[in-house]
Amino acid sequence: MAAAIISAFATSQTVFTPIPPPNSAHNFAPVGTLDALSHTAFTTLAHPEFPNYGVRIKKTDFCDEGVGAYTGYIDIQARHLFFYFFESRSNPDEDDVVFWTNGGPGCSSGIGLLMELGPCRVVKAENGTVHHPESWNSNQNIFFIDQPIGVGFSYADYGEHVSTTEEAAQDIAAFVAIFFAHFTKFQGRGFHLSGESYAGRYLPAFAAAVYDQNPRLVKAGIPPINLTSVIIGNGMTDAVGMMPTWYEQQCTSATLPPVQTIQTCVQMKMQMSRCTKWLKESCQDIFDSINCAAAISFCDQITFDPFVATGLNVYDISKPCEPTSSGRCYDEIDEIVKYLNQKDVQALFGVEVPQYDSCSDKVNMDFGLALDMYVGSTEYVAALLERGVRVLIYVGTYDFACNWLGNEAWTLALEWSGQTEFRAQELREWTVDGKRAGRTRTAGGLTFATVDGAGHMVPYDKPKESLEMVNRWIAGEPL
């Protein structure tokens, strides 16, 4: 579903007023304040340390009246990543900065913005947006980014593409550095990388790129990024470890009563040992791309395909998958697509593609062919924890695809200096307004938390609880 690309959208009235890049870091002149930006023209941000990168940004009165809202593109030569940025409703001059990406791979963060945790939601496209009181920008400044190239409003000029998380990470790290260098009021603020689903693979690598880039920034006279935490919701951080838990989530009472027939569960159980053995040998012990792909196909056939055949929602086992145009079980996603394809909305944002899709099949296929998911990101998590970057893994209990069983398993198995202490902790209840919201375990900088009654998209299913959770986390308070 990759969109056809044009160099400029015909109905947009946006014009470009680039700022010439300085010759060296010594004469670099930051824009300094968001107030300097225009509603009608993109301002181009550049930095001599990143000669192949630029950031175009403009004010965009959208979604949250009274709060600074901005849209723009991260330009990497012939590649262009689209983003939204919203200032905090509380104290934008002091609150932390949060980055959000959806997963897929290949799905747009317009879903996160307009369905889950953004300052507004789209219920019916023709009615526009409605205020969302439990938005995560209630207490944080927040980005939503369509990445990698080919997702949402992002595009490439000549068919360039990205097919691995590590490639995508370099673009995100450069963008963050340029933004913070120009808008000086955010320098030194706590910076948190967040997202869901395939973001469990993305974010640890993105965080590592941001962290490892800091010495380069300091050497160039740029303030380092205060990378404070990584927040992963229903993540696919360890795909190899997740696949065996698909049996447990549909055939045991780990969450709800079994949803699968006894006969199917018996057949599945008889083949699980072959699945896990093959995955370990071919995808973990030695990464053999041919045998790993074969193992994945076999495990999918015996565990994932039978669940899909039940007609239940892979993102919420408590309900059926409703038929939708997008095929993703939620009417809201179809309405978001309609809304973001309205020409006046696209003109307002200054986007440069004629067609918006919620997810790109091409990007998904490119990452799939590279077996990017099965590389995993647990080692990045361990390395970040050792360097003082906190990590929150939260999971809605009703999710099937990236369920709490698989996420708990890899956090317990993670090898890091706090592993013994973390494993020794029993799951305890965490509450919101005196009512149980889920269970949690924490030690050192690592926290695992479940959210009762939520599916794959926790901020959508449990907006109050998710906001309370993230506010406590960013404030450094225990759940």
353: left (phi > 0), else alpha (psi -120 to 50), else beta?
Answer: beta
Q: Provide CB contacts within 8 A for 134, sequence distance 6+.
A: 117, 459, 463, 464, 466, 467
Buried b (16+ CB within 10 A) or exposed e, 45-65: bbbebbeebbbbbbbbebbbe
> Which residue of the set 75, 399, 452, 461 is catalytic?
399
Q: Which residues pair with 99 in a beta bridge?
A: 143, 193
Q: d(Cα 364, Cα 128) in Å, to the nearest integer?
A: 29
Return the H-helix or E-strand segment holding 443: strand 435-443
As a whole number of angstroms, the distance between CA 116 and CA 136 comes to 9
Structure-block tokens of residue 229: 């935490």
The DSSP H or E segment spanning 332 is helix 331-340
CA distances from 6 to 14, 69, 213 (A): 15, 25, 33
Question: Distance between CA 279 and CA 240 in Å, rounded?
Answer: 6
CA angle centred on 471, ends 469 and 474, rounded to 5°:
105
What one-letter code names the amino acid at 58?
A: K
Strand partners, 267: none
- Distance (Å, whole) CA 159 – CA 172: 20
- Alpha carbons 375 and 296: distance in angstroms, whole number: 13
- Pairing type for strands 141-146 and 79-86 reads antiparallel
Active site residue 456: yes
Rounded CA gap, 448 and 452, in Å? Answer: 13
From the candidates 47, 357, 456, 461, which is the catalytic residue?
456
Q: How far, rounded to the nearest angstrom, does the alpha carbon of residue 136 sit from its chain's CA centroid?
A: 14
Cα–Cα dist 261/47, whole Å:
60
What does DSSP say about strands 97-101 and 191-197: parallel, antiparallel, or unpaired? parallel
Q: Which tokens go with 131?
A: 């205020």
Beta bridge partners of 85: 70, 143
Catalytic (active site) residue 80 = no
Task: Point out the catalytic residue in the list 109, 197, 229, 466.
Answer: 197
Q: How far apart are CA 217 and CA 212, in angstroms?
A: 10
Catalytic residue annotation: 197, 399, 456
